[in-house]
Structure 1
């Protein structure tokens, strides 16, 4: 039966290792690039190697918890006495053979303390899996928003280049006909050069964002682009229950306290009880034997280990207090950033953008009618492009603030 159980566990281990290997191959970019929505990216991220590692950590902790419940094995001993001596003990006629079975008894609550420590480690690993999933979701939200912003900036850069090229063409005609001085043409050329450099930077930003999202969602970064979705609503106000970070810190504190009991129990000596049969070769008689032994706690009482785990428990208490402070601050910061981004979006996406677009339209018509100068036209174009760029930044800030807020409010049910 034990050999069958060992073979079964070995088979399960091999199958799990094979599944992780296949998942790693699938994650290495074999999936073709496609339009990726936020929901798609979050779904694909569930196969992340980071999550696989967290799941195996939970499996390892669970296996250790099962092992902690197992009691100490008994021992079997065979002893030969009066063997090969002198005088009447020259031969084997005076040999005494003893077959004994002994058992060490765990005292001081060692087993129960060991089980409590193992259960605490399982809880830490289980909550760690939830935290890893929340961290990956935050990273995916950030990467998806960054890719959408990079795409929008590249589109803006293309529009700026088209406007700059049209301005260069117009200035060339006006300079050739003597309606504008050559300096105007040089100014238009400078604007085109600056727009071309900005577009090159936008292309680099787009490639970086594609690789970042591809690494998180397990797709090919070539041609990857983010599909815009409706603005997400912020999570509901947190309930009284602690977030996942605080729950992990509390579980680590409980495990640290359980280690104090385990260290104390390890300082209690464990007696060994034994018993068996003794056979006297000379008379062929038999007799029962019994043995009791117990270590003397003279040199080692495990006092320093107890002191160490007590300090570890105090560290866990301090960590829990700090986690509570950090969690509260993280949520408040994320909520403040979200409110600021919403305010910017309301200002830029509404009247601000309409006014900038209308100012550019008036400036173009006025310049064509000779009522505005080239500088005024360029200023209106710059103001309009600046408004569009600020709107992109505000949307990115909102998405990142939402990602941080979802992470700060992450709980086990998420």
Structure 2
């Protein structure tokens, strides 16, 4: 069993909440579960991942049940119409490549002269001729090269779209996880508000608290009910958004299974920025430049005139004699030397080069922004987990007990309670934001962060050994 298989099995093992450890983030699991190890074998890996399993068949999913990320990815890769459209485009390029390599068809012609003339001195004859255009200057290989690069360009576009859809699916999966956690927090809030209201009512009935506190507790209960309903509606919208990725208008699953508290070691900036070149969008821009260069060579080859050779027989009708005829024609490149098409091809090559530089700059800018946001999100989670949440929980428990003993007012208890649950919601949002940022970073480098972290550790160890 490979290490990747072990990772996939261990993902379902329960983790201690709130602990920071090196593990696969959501998008890392997307890569692992689809078998993606590098962009070179990306197509084969996703083709294997798209194969139906016992849990997910091509026709859809069961009416009820929980979905893992593996199942979601399989559904999307099998049924997403955007990927299907890109696959059709690749298949179309097969025809373009085939057509580019074909020779020109020969032409058969029949000529007859003076067949209705009454002058016996004029020879009547008919000529049967076959003509063949012969391309010179390497036009056909150049055409095939352009078509081949066009197909490779379509492959890279398909890989880029697949990577985008995987990242979009992982983010939508995180959205559902986040909303499920928020519904759970809101449900806990409603339960504790109900308990608090019962305590308030007892204190009011016993004459230990003013009647106004009972009214305030009912308002707090109504507010908690509204917030719970809003969280449920947000969850419903997130589930629908996820289901739409594989073409289902209505979600037919119960829950998604995953762990928001899953963290990955973040490699150094310099280590990650080098991997931007592996992004299929960059490879697509490079392939576009290569195709434009091939088109320039094709237009240069088209400057060389082609020749047409013909051969046939001529039949003299009056004498029944037959003779062979041969011929050759070649255009004289005086006016049209294909200079316009060559100029156009060169300008489009310059445009492709500018677009490549623009793509690299845009990816680097986006990477810098998301990398800094990821570091900030990690620090935010640590502060919330280590300081804010324990303090808010402790304050809530103390004020709650103190209110029952009459040491704190109802408003102080209610404020501590709301602060605690607001920070729980903030923690859930921070976790989800962290996972989405990991998804984005891994989409930009087209590889799991764990792989980059391993490479960085190995290089550091090698450097230490060399210094020793």
Query: What TM-score, normalized to structure 2?
Result: 0.76
Question: Are residues 1:122 and 2:151 paired?
Answer: yes
1:63 CA displacement = 2.7
2:431 counterpart residue number: 395
Task: Output the CA distance in 2 between the equivalents of 1:184 and 1:31.
Answer: 49
SS at match of 1:88: coil
Give the one of 365, 386, 393 matched to 1:329: 365
The 3-state SS of whatever aligns with 1:214 is helix
Per the alignment, residue 150 of structure 1 pairs with 179
Residues 116 and 258 of structure 1 are in contact (CA less than 8 Å); yes or no, is this contact kept in structure 2? yes
* Residue equivalent to 2:381: 345
| Distance in 2 of aligned mates of 1:33 and 1:257 | 54
Q: Give RMSD over aligned pairs.
A: 2.5
Q: Secondary structure at the match of 1:87?
A: coil
- Alignment check: 8 A CA contact 1:244 1:411 kept: no
Could you tell me which of 400, 404, 409 is aligned with 2:445? Answer: 409
Q: Deviations over 1:192-215 (max 9, x none)?
A: 222122112111111111112212
* Structure 2: runs of 5 or more not aligned: 1-56, 452-468
Q: SS of the residue aligned with 1:289?
A: strand
Which runs of 5 or more residues in structure 1 are unaligned? 1-25
Mapping of 1:208-287 within 5 angstroms?
Answer: 208-217=237-246, 221-229=251-259, 231=262, 233=264, 237-238=271-272, 241-287=277-323
Alignment partner, residue 315 of structure 1: 351
Matches within 5 A, 1:142-181: 142-181=171-210
- Which residues in structure 2 correspond to 1:5-84 (within 5 Å)? 31-47=62-78, 48-84=80-116
Deviation at 1:53, TM superposition (A): 2.2
Are 2:339 and 1:303 aligned?
Answer: yes
Q: Which moved more, 1:127-136 or 1:168-177?
A: 168-177
SS of the residue corresponding to residue 245 of structure 2 reads helix
Matching residue of 2:416: 380
CA contact (8 A) 2:63 2:253 kept: no
User: Which stretch of the first structure deviates more once superposed, 214-223 or 185-194?
Assistant: 214-223
1:184 maps to 213
Count residues with an aligned counterpart: 385
Change (3 A) 1:143 1:28: farther
- Is residue 366 of structure 1 aligned with residue 402 of structure 2? yes
